[in-house]
Structure formats: C-alpha cells, structure tokens
Amino acid sequence: MYIIAGLGNPGREYVNTRHNVGFDVLDRFAAKENIPILEKRHKAVIGKGTVAGVKCILAKPWTYMNLSGECIRELVNFYKVDEKTELIVISDDVSLEPGHIRIRKKGSAGGHNGLKNIIANLGHDTFIRVKMGVGEKPAGWDLADHVLGRFSQKDREAVDQAAERAADAVRMIIAEGPDAAMNRYNGAPKEEKSYDSQV
C-alpha cells in the first residue's frame, strides 16, 4: 500500500498559489486514476483506490503546510505502511524553475516548512518526494509572500504541464519504482532537453 500526500494549505484564498502545487498534482493524479478525494479523516481529506494493482491512499493534509507532519504521522501509523518506501510526498520547491520536477528518495527539507515538519514527525528524512519547481523568490522578497503568491500566466502554463508529468511520475513510482521515475522525469521538460542537446 502507498500513501500519496500532496502538500498545500486548505482554504479558497490559497487556491493556485505556489505553495499549493502539491494539491494540484494530487488532484490531477486522482482524476487520471478515477479516485475521488472526499473523505475527511486523519487531519486530511483522503481518497482510496487502486493504482497499477496496488492499494493507495491519496491525502491532502488539512493541518496547514507547517504542520503537515502531524497528518502524515497519523496516516502512516493507521495504515501501517513503510514510510521509507511506501510514502510519496508532493511539494513545491523554490530551487527549481517552474516546469521542472525532481524525484528524490531522501534528503533535507531544503527550507520547506512542510517537509521540515514531516521529517520531524517521522524522525528521519528517508521518504520519496516529488518536488515541483515554482521558481526562486525575487531579491528582497519575503519567502512566505513568494510561496503564497500566484504564478504569471507563462509560469502557470509551465507548472500545469509539469503537474501532468508529475502525476504520471507518481504512477511510475508505484508501478516500476522510484529509480525508474527518477531516470525518466528528473530535470527539465523533454523539449528543453532536446533543444539543449542541439546547441
């Protein structure tokens, strides 16, 4: 069984913000796999289904970003999954350009308060994460203002396309393992890679 958690903040005022791309990817993944996310349990809104023959729990923590770990800890304990291999966390990443995704099997929080709280609650940093690029904050900006802001139209289009790829990457993690997904999806979008190879 897998727990797939998309990070974000509940509430209409946070819809389409940079910090909520984890919710956006999970919604796309749920739509592709026909798994409604409607049930309120474990400090989250969850959905249950089967992906590539494997039972999955899809979860949007409803604790607000900075306390995401409380929800994740409760989910891991209740469903008794191995969080090191059966937990997938989808989050925003300011160190990646919009449109880029990166899959990792472990690592630091990198300044992300949601990941920091998950690491604190789990007691380790070994869990699969799918990071969505949202771009660095402009010079002089407060980080909170940046991640709680919205994308330009150009960046929004790039992020929407990346969200589709990220949803496919989550399915590949479940079906073929994280290494296969890392090899296929890490880095720039495919069209940028092919352009770079011609320069």
Token pair of 59 as six digits: 């979860």
- Strands of the sheet with 54-61, listed across from one edge: 39-41, 44-51, 54-61, 2-6, 87-93, 128-133, 101-104
The one-letter amino acid code at 136 reads E
Catalytic pick among 19, 42, 100, 112: 19
**Sequence-separated (6 or more) residues with CB below 8 Å from residue 77:** none
Contact yes or no for 5/30 (Cβ under 8 A): no
Is position 19 annotated as part of the catalytic site? Answer: yes
Catalytic residue numbers? 19
